[in-house]
Structure 1
Amino acid sequence: MSAVSCLLTEHQFLCSICLDVFTDPVSTPCGHNFCKTCITEHWNINVPYQCPNCKKVFYSKPELQVNTFISEMAAQFRQSAQQKASSSSSEQQAAKPGEVPCDVCTGTKVKALKSCLVCLASYCETHLEPHLTASRLKKHQLIDPVENLEGRMCTKHDKLLELFCKTDQMCVCMLCTVSDHKTHDVVPLKEEYEGKKAELGKTEAETQQMIQKRRLKIQEIKRSVELSKEDADREIAGGVQVFSALKESVERSQAELIDTIKEKQRETEKQAEGFIKELEQEISELKKRSSEVEQLSRSEDHLHLLQSLPSLNAAPPTKDWTEVSVRPPSYEGTVRRAVKQLEETLSKQMKKLLEAELKRVQQYAVDVTLDPDTANPYLILSDDGKQVKHVDIKKNLSDNSERFDHGVVILAKQSFSSGRFYYSIQFNSILFI
């Protein structure tokens, strides 16, 4: 018998219901063989009684007879297969920590090559062979080896989770669609997998975009610091030139001037360092999330992706950096305030200094025109929009949401939110801008 069993292949000893080697094989009246437990449970569920293979219907439950010959052959084959698998496993390297072991190996657990979503088992190269050769097993869905295959079964119906309920956002089996999820929006697992994977790709792209924006903001802040330092250097040089000419009598004022300017620069750098540190922290958190999203989006395991998605860390809290910037401190008047203390002896130097500062500030000059749509009815605007005066008689003007009805106010057409701008205002009577 041993010689005969060696000529037979494993799929000839498989029960067509459990797809495993026969256990207590019995024969039906139509001549087909099944595990006793498998065919009994099958007929307990399905009435009338029907052969799973040839579909022959029996109107009364047939009496099952133990097939002694098949039982002995299956036992002989199982023993031979276990010895062969044990010998093969001993020649292969055992699965390392973190690797999925073969579920069939009885001795050394060899690293699994594939996992079967139908058998809910993982197989090494040796034990995977029936799935590659047997016609019935070829129809099974094989994936890269994964752990916890039991988690792919519906806990209520003990069926494979192969559908996704969009209504309840959960994976379900076929029987769930006719019970708890009968009226719900249910789609194949693969369809939902593709959709969620596309969303993950979009999330990853958005995360990368956020990282890039923050890198650009860092460059902007660093450039602001450089400009601030250039302004500080120019201001220091001008102050040194003024106070050097005053010799010993103004050395103390010169030192105070330099300290004031440098303190402003240190405050600017400190502010910039704080922004950069916060941006780099956000980049670090975003990179971490990007890595998690990328790793999950590369998964070919439909169920693993969908079950892992809810536990994916939420996007880290980030600041809106659009309006954040480091504004270089203004140094105009710093030297003037220092020199003013010595105005009795420095009147000529003060005059030169004021002229130089005015010239420097005027490079930021802007042409401001008043906006008549915002003028209070008690204000009269000149034709060129450069002058305005207050009167006692209220003008009859059209309704305008931008007009100041209560405060005697007028705005300019131009608006400035950042940068340096120079313009002068002359008060002849009452002017509000």
Structure 2
Amino acid sequence: MADSGAFLDQDQFSCPICLELLKDPVAIPCGHSYCMGCIKGCWDQDDHTGVYSCPQCRQTFTPRPVLGRNTILAAMVEKLKKMGLQADPPAHCYAGPGDVACDVCSERKHKAIKSCLVCLVSYCETHLQPHYESPPLKKHKLVEATGHLQEKICSRHDKLLEVYCRTDQQCICLLCTMDEHRGHDTVSAVAERTEKQNQLGKTQKKSQQKIQEREKELQDLRQAVDSLTHSAQAAVEDSERIFTEMICSIERRRSEVKELIRDQEKAAVSQAEGLLMRLEQEIAELRRRDAELEQLSHTEDHIHFLQSCNYLCAPPGPGDLPSITFKQHFSFDAVRKSVSELKVRLEDVCKVEMAKISSLGSGGDISGSLAKTGGSSGGGATAAEKQSCPICMKSIKKKQRLMRLCYEPSYLKRLIDALRAKGIE
């Protein structure tokens, strides 16, 4: 005897709504069978109209049919289950965290792949098949599976939100247009979407234009910062070079002043040594004459005394003993004073110029400073830009280098000449 399972087709015992083996199968007046839970859920959505239809043949019933369990069909389904004709789906078909679950699956939920905006139900691949095969269901609008279907339903009439009320700026259903939104300015959601899409496009275009403007400003600001960095580095290098030159120049002038003092010292000492030698010679000559006078005073030869006395007692002639003069209080106090004054003046100049440099470095914010790439002020120098050099007392301008005039070799030469004029012959 052949196995009776060979003559049983699982599709004949599947619910057209959930596409699984029938659970508590019921037959409705048109003859189609469904799971009791599936058909009750479907008809619950039609309670407000009072008209109920078969999801397959679309035959309508009024009033709502009373459902009773088909015991014969239920027994056959149980037999199919025992025969193992129903295979378990792969694990990846089940809904996990973040997935939209199929609303039809009664036990372990499968992942939904589409949501029906007419049925307001999300379907897995298996339960979606009637929407592809049944002519009435083919007319339903399917969208990608979404877990926010309730947001698309009117809370008052449990109907799909497919109309937009411009008066109240909200989405409504068709029944709302005949109720509290009667007489309002209403359009289809599709039409309003088209208009809003155009507005969105314009807004997006303005936003993109603003982004481009800001990116241009960002690029300009970065370039300005780079330019500022390069300019600062160049200023540091120039300052280092200028200060090095100044230090070298001061070192040279120090050596020149030192050499000048030593030369004056050498000349004065040489002069003094010459005078010392002459004085020693004069003293030696005077001592010799004094010795001769002493010897003559004790001689007993009167003739010799008389003959030598006139010669030895006569004062020396003007050419014999020259006049010797020398500055007894010679010193370098004037030199030390001049050098000290030079130090004070240098410090004053440095203070003045450093104040200028500090004011140039701290003036204005970066947004204003970076925006200016150059330019010169019109007209002559202002009173603030003009001042006198604390060394030479001559008028200098803002753009002149620090101590450029007063520390030229020509000026230092004049300074040395002035030092010489203060006491050094």
The TM-score normalised by the length of structure 2 is 0.50
- When you count helix as a share of all residues, which structure comes out higher? 2
Q: Which has the larger radius of gyration?
A: 2
The TM-score normalised by the length of structure 1 is 0.49
